[in-house]
């Protein structure tokens, strides 16, 4: 079995995955959403302190599995340096105490493998990752053959939802809050501009849209918030589908997946489904409970890396806030 740890942002999670069957034997996650909600976003130092409390509590429950562990996998990149270090330090301690090898996992690959928890892998696969930290399109051929073809030049898709909710004083995380508010709103009421519409580059940008929403919020009264939320969600999603449509002109995917916290958004799912229809591409989604950060996806990558002997030493394993993907 493999013990996996996730602490890249505001979720403390540990999982136990059986290597041979890929079965998830244990998974526990403690989210810090409530604690960060009053600040309208994640406060890194507070997050680190909460991980330091939560991770040992969860680890305690995994003791019965210790004798069967073959390796310990941990998210080491990308994420907040001060929170990644909490998980990595714990993983190193477990590695030394139990005499088992260490596996450093890329969190973005973790999100891709959230599709394959307790399942076989499916490749080739084109993946849209939409989370709080990333908005990117990747062509995935295998664990070690992943090519990023588009990414955000500034804010991410999920982050823009967080910031819009913060502007309206509605708390954190903004994604589910804005999605709920948008349901009763008019998507055409506010005519926000689709980002990078005339730009040929295959890239994303959310800072301009965020600022346009800020101006609208400042002028609006509370009754308008639902229409702003709906119009924002519509344009934020249209930006994704517009760029994907462009990408599909040269590269039609057979298998397409949306992963990451924001892949839970039903409007986004619907729009992507519509976009894929004429191409007869198959759409893959993670189970709702594995869209946001979790340790099950890290364990699933851990199993794959274990089978390929992709271990690292105590000295080699370090945190890297920015991903190389
Ligand atoms: O993958 P994740 O849990 O953490 C990162 O790796 O960043 O994603 C969290 C992000 C947050 O920005 C959150 O607001 C966004 O995903 N999110 C959503 C929805 N649910 C979560 N964004 C839009 N619509 C949602 N329903
Ligand atoms: Zn994530």
Per-residue pLDDT of 217-270, as tens digits, reads 999 999 999 999 999 999 999 999 999 999 999 999 999 999 999 999 999 999
Residues 6+ apart with CB under 8 A from 99: none
Q: Which atom of ligand 1 is closest in space to residue 264's alpha carbon?
A: 26
Contact 17, 24 (CB under 8 A): yes
Range of the domain at 205: 125-285
Kindly report, residue by residue over 271-286, the tens digit of the pLDDT: 999 999 999 999 999 9
| Number of domains the chain contains | 2
Whichever domain contains 74, its CATH number is 3.30.420.40
Structure tokens at 136: 């990117």
Q: Which atom of ligand 1 is closest in space to residue 159's alpha carbon?
A: 12
Does one domain contain both 142 and 197?
A: yes
Quick one: which ligand is closest to 135's CA? 1
Does one domain contain both 76 and 143?
A: no
Q: Which atom of ligand 1 is closest in space to residue 291's alpha carbon?
A: 1
For 280, which DSSP code?
Answer: T
Does one domain contain both 53 and 16?
A: yes
The answer as to whether 316 is a domain residue is no
What pLDDT, on the 0 to 100 scale, is given for residue 40?
87
Does one domain contain both 94 and 187?
A: no
What pLDDT, on the 0 to 100 scale, is given for residue 239?
98
Torsion of CA 315, 27, 290, 6, to 10 degrees: -20
The residue whose CB lies within 8 Å of the most ligand 1 atoms, and thus the one to mutate among 135, 136, 168, 261, is 261
Neighbour order of strands in the sheet with 255-259:
145-151, 135-142, 125-130, 255-259, 282-285
Residue 62 in 3-state DSSP?
coil
Q: Which atom of ligand 1 is closest in space to residue 161's alpha carbon?
A: 14
Does one domain contain both 144 and 251?
A: yes
Report the DSSP pairing between strands 135-142 and 24-31. unpaired
The answer as to whether 10 is a domain residue is yes
For ligand 2, the distance from its centroid to the CA atom of residue 71, given in whole angstroms, is 22
Which residue, 13, 8, 134, 12, is CA-closest to 76?
8
Quick one: which ligand is closest to 286's CA? 1
| Protein residue whose Cα sits closest to atom 14 of ligand 1 | 175
The answer as to whether 186 is a domain residue is yes
What pLDDT, on the 0 to 100 scale, is given for residue 200?
93
Does one domain contain both 113 and 131?
A: no
Residue at token pair 């730009």: 199
Does one domain contain both 102 and 71?
A: yes
Separation of alpha carbons 114 and 106, rounded Å: 13
Phi and psi torsions of 71, nearest 5°: -165, 160
What pLDDT, on the 0 to 100 scale, is given for residue 249?
94
Separation of alpha carbons 126 and 141, rounded Å: 9
For ligand 2, the distance from its centroid to the CA atom of residue 94, given in whole angstroms, is 23
For ligand 2, the distance from its centroid to the CA atom of residue 258, given in whole angstroms, is 13
Count CB atoms within 10 A of the CB of residue 119: 11
The residue whose CB lies within 8 Å of the most ligand 1 atoms, and thus the one to mutate among 177, 181, 260, 262, is 262
Quick one: which ligand is closest to 109's CA? 2
The answer as to whether 140 is a domain residue is yes
Does one domain contain both 240 and 220?
A: yes
Does one domain contain both 21 and 164?
A: no
The whole-model pTM stands at 0.97
Does one domain contain both 96 and 185?
A: no
- CA–CA distances in Å: residue 55 to residues 76, 88, 261, 266: 15, 11, 21, 31
What pLDDT, on the 0 to 100 scale, is given for residue 323?
87
Residues of the chain whose pLDDT is less than 50? none
Which residue, 160, 142, 81, 109, is CA-closest to 318?
81
Separation of alpha carbons 166 and 173, rounded Å: 9
- CA–CA distances in Å: residue 323 to residues 77, 109, 291, 320: 6, 10, 19, 7
Helix (H) or strand (E) holding 207: helix 207-219
For 314, which DSSP code?
Answer: T
Does one domain contain both 135 and 267?
A: yes
Does one domain contain both 28 and 161?
A: no
Count CB atoms within 10 A of the CB of residue 21: 10
For ligand 2, the distance from its centroid to the CA atom of residue 198, given in whole angstroms, is 30
Q: Which residues line ligand 1 (CB under 6 A)?
A: 9, 131-133, 158-159, 161-162, 173-176, 179, 260-262, 264-265, 292-293
């Amino acid at each position: 079995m493999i013990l996996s740890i996730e602490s890249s942002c505001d979720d403390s999670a540990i999982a136990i995955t059986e290597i041979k069957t890929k079965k998830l034997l244990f998974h526990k996650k403690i989210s810090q959403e409530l604690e960060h909600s009053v600040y309208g976003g994640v406060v890194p130092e507070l997050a680190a302190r909460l991980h330091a409390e939560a991770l040992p509590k969860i680890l305690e429950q995994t003791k019965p599995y210790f004798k069967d562990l073959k390796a310990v996998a941990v998210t080491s990149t990308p994420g907040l340096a001060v929170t990644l270090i909490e998980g990595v330090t714990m993983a190193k301690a477990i590695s030394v105490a139990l005499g088992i090898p260490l596996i450093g996992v890329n969190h973005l690959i973790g999100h891709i493998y959230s599709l394959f928890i307790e399942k076989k892998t499916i490749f080739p696969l084109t993946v849209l990752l939409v989370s709080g930290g990333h908005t990117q399109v990747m062509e995935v051929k295998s664990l070690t053959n992943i090519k990023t073809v588009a990414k955000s030049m500034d804010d991410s898709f999920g982050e823009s939802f967080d910031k819009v909710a913060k502007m309206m004083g509605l708390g954190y995380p903004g994604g589910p809050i804005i999605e709920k508010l948008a349901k009763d709103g008019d998507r055409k009421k506010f005519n926000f501009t689709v980002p990078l519409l005339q730009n040929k580059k295959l890239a994303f940008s959310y800072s301009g849209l965020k600022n346009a929403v800020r101006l609208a919020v400042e002028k609006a009264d509370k009754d308008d918030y639902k229409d702003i939320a709906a119009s924002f969600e519509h344009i934020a999603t249209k930006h994704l589908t517009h760029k994907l449509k462009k990408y599909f002109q040269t590269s039609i995917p057979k298998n397409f997946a949306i992963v990451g916290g924001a892949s839970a958004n039903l409007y986004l799912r619907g729009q992507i489904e519509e976009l894929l229809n004429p191409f007869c591409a198959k759409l893959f989604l993670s189970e709702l409970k594995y869209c946001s950060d979790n340790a099950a996806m890290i364990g699933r990558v851990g199993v794959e890396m274990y089978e390929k002997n992709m271990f690292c030493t105590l000295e080699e394993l370090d945190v890297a806030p920015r991903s190389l993907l």
